[in-house]
């Protein structure tokens, strides 16, 4: 009691301490301990931090606490769990002062007995006063021993009120019948591509209206907003919309309105290249080309309707992609870009699969980018699985140089171990491989392309077309050698003197893949000059050329790299280029 204890120990330098975890392992009579504070001093650098607690370690308050530096505060959020084999009492989710920030994913570890499959979660917000309200979207609980996951969705504000004085909510597991009857089940995704010319970006708010047979999606126009600085020149922005089931617009989309809010401020004009709207629940993707300014001269509102498209009217938004059979009169399937097949190979490792949203963006050698929207569900990207998607680019893409991969909405246990991704250009069947064979970093990664077959990247001339594009799988293809007589509704053979029937098209298979060059490890050291402003936060791409070929790689960037006067080292596994002759 009232004693100051000093301890010395050696450990790696961790810089400025930001938190300290204190565990009291005592039990029984007189095991409780009242801790006033802990002060940590680095004897070498004199770095100092003080962690004030002024509370008891006991059965009531818990035997483990995460302390923050003096002067900082963290939201007080508690969780209690109920499973098939028991219950786990209320535990505080201890994090830093930036925990539970807007659009953040926070990960916590709690310990307790095995309660089996988690069926219910009770979350309580203990904050009081101004700013205590918290928009709580969802929580995922992962049993680190078994890998079992349970997801609980709320997606509402949690705060003290006359009807909820304790700011507490009890949630059923998302896949249960009770949760499905209460939670929204319609997810939509919007992807915008802003033009790359000077002044194409905007700081003005952007809204969309999506109409279908059941009316307006969400019951009102949707404001496209997330935590990023949206609609910058050359940027692709993604927005996720959770729509209550009673406010779904149905399928197909019959009308789309894109509107930039009126503004007289400088920088309000916006050039929209294209926009995609994805009905994630149904797996339908729609895409429109725009290529127009949203400004006072050309108008701040662009609209498309299926009725006008069927009549052949020109519209500011041109439908470029739609689910097959949805708008056949509009000729909407793949009129602007090229069809591709994407095949993801998830590694055969424990916990390799993910339920997060997988995002990809391809870049060609000229710098053009394409971000296909994949209609995903929870059954995909499982351990040792191969998942295939067909998508069409909104504009022709040249020789693919790299792919950017990242996850959206990843929670605890949603890490992904990707073996490789294969992209095939279906008209020419040229294929590229993007090998990772590792866990996908939390910030995403960029992978250089490796050509798998020496096929020219161009559609064959019409006179030489003898086959239809083949998919990347090995499913058997069937040839139909009969021709239907429309008047009889049955197959008939050619009669004497009649013109011969057109022969069935030959079934094309991807050409055999050329053997890959073996990989080798390169160590790259980048030295930044020691001049004012010499550093950069831009992405840096290397192109190595040697006697055996070339290889490119985009270096992972962070604000700690490529600083003035710094030396940054990278280890890269690339195709063997032989004796190096040039680097760009």
Higher pLDDT: 415 or 462? It is 415
Predicted local confidence at residue 398, as pLDDT? 85
Domain of residue 150: give its range.
77-182
Whether 488 maps to a domain, the answer reads no
Whether 534 maps to a domain, the answer reads yes
Whether 550 maps to a domain, the answer reads yes
Predicted local confidence at residue 138, as pLDDT? 84
DSSP letter at 58? B
What is the token pair recorded at 198?
């000077």
Phi-psi region of 300 (alpha: psi -120 to 50; beta: other; left: phi over 0): alpha
| Residue 284 Cα distances to 14, 257, 276, 324, 358, angstroms | 48, 18, 11, 9, 16
- Rounded mean pLDDT of 431-454? 89
User: What's the pLDDT band for 206 if we cut at 50, 70, 90?
Assistant: very high
Residues in CB range of 452: below 8 A, 6 or more apart: 422, 431, 432, 433, 513, 514, 516
Do 399 and 349 lie in one domain? The reply is: yes
Whether 111 maps to a domain, the answer reads yes
Do 264 and 222 lie in one domain? The reply is: yes
Domain harbouring 544, CATH code:
2.60.60.20
Indicate the length of the chain as a whole number.
584
Q: Which of 43, 72, 101 is the last residue of a domain?
A: 72
Do 50 and 156 lie in one domain? The reply is: no
Helix (H) or strand (E) holding 262: none
Beta bridge partners of 158: 134
pLDDT at 528 over 50: yes
Do 83 and 13 lie in one domain? The reply is: no
Total structural domains within the chain: 5
Helix, coil or strand: residue 179:
helix
Least reliable range by pLDDT among 47-61, 246-260, 368-382: 368-382
pLDDT at 70 over 60: no
Rounded CA separation 232/193 (Å): 9
| Residue 9 Cα distances to 4, 5, 42, angstroms | 17, 13, 10
User: What's the pLDDT band for 487 if we cut at 50, 70, 90?
Assistant: very low
Contact 250, 218 (CB under 8 A): no
pTM over the 0.85 mark = no
Do 107 and 192 lie in one domain? The reply is: no
Going by C-alpha positions, the residue among 254, 269, 239 that lies closest to residue 209 is 254
- Rounded mean pLDDT of 218-229? 82
Q: Which of 330, 352, 378 is the last residue of a domain?
A: 330
């Amino acid at each position: 009691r009232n004693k100051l204890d000093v301890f010395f120990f050696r450990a790696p330098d961790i810089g400025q301490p930001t938190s300290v975890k204190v565990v009291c392992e005592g039990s029984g009579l007189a095991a409780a301990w009242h801790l006033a504070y802990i002060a940590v001093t680095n004897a070498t650098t004199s770095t100092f931090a003080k962690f004030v607690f002024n509370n008891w370690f006991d059965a009531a308050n818990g035997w483990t606490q995460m302390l923050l530096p003096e002067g900082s505060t963290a939201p007080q959020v508690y969780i209690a769990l109920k499973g098939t084999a028991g219950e786990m009492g209320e535990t505080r989710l201890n994090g830093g002062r930036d925990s539970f920030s807007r659009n953040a994913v926070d990960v916590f570890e709690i310990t307790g007995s095995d309660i089996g499959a988690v069926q219910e979660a009770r979350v309580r917000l203990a904050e009081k006063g101004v700013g205590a309200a918290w928009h709580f979207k969802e929580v995922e609980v992962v049993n680190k021993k078994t890998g079992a996951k349970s997801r609980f969705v709320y997606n509402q504000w949690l705060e003290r009120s006359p009807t909820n004085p304790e700011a507490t909510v009890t949630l059923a597991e998302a896949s249960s019948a009770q949760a499905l009857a209460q939670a929204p089940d319609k997810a939509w995704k919007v992807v915008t591509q802003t033009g790359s010319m000077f002044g194409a970006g905007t700081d003005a708010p952007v809204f969309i209206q999506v109409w279908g047979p059941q009316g307006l999606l969400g019951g009102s126009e949707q404001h496209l907003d997330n935590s990023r600085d949206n609609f910058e020149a050359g940027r692709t922005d993604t927005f996720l919309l959770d729509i209550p089931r009673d406010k779904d617009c149905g399928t197909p989309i019959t009308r789309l309105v894109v509107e930039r809010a009126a503004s007289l401020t400088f920088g309000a004009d916006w050039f929209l290249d294209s926009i995609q709207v994805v009905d994630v629940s149904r797996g339908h993707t729609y895409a429109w080309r725009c290529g127009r300014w949203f400004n006072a001269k050309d108008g701040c509102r662009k609209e498309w309707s299926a009725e006008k498209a069927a009549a052949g009217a020109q519209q500011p938004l041109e439908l470029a992609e739609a689910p097959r059979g949805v708008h056949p009169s509009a000729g909407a399937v793949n009129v602007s870009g090229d069809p591709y097949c994407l095949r993801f190979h998830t590694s055969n490792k424990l916990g390799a699969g993910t339920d997060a949203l997988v995002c990809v963006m391809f870049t060609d050698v000229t710098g053009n980018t394409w971000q296909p929207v994949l209609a995903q569900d929870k059954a995909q990207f499982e351990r040792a699985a191969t998942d295939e998607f067909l998508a069409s680019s909104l504009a022709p893409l040249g020789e693919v140089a790299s792919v950017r991969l990242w996850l959206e909405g990843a929670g605890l246990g949603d890490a992904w171990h990707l073996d490789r991704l294969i992209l095939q250009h279906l008209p020419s069947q040229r294929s590229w491989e993007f090998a990772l064979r590792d866990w996908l970093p939390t910030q995403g990664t960029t992978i250089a392309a490796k050509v798998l077959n020496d096929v020219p990247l161009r559609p064959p001339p019409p006179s030489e077309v003898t086959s239809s594009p083949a998919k990347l799988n090995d499913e058997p293809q069937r040839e139909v050698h009969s021709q239907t007589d429309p008047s009889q509704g049955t197959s008939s053979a050619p009669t004497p003197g009649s013109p011969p029937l057109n022969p069935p098209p030959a079934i094309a298979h991807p050409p055999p893949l050329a053997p890959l060059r073996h990989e080798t490890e390169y160590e790259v050291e980048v030295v930044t000059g020691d001049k004012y402003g010499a550093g950069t936060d831009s992405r840096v791409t290397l192109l190595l050329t040697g006697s055996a070929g070339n290889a490119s790689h985009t270096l992972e960037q962070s604000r700690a790299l490529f600083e003035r006067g710094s030396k940054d080292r990278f280890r890269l596994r690339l195709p063997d280029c032989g004796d190096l002759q040039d680097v760009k």
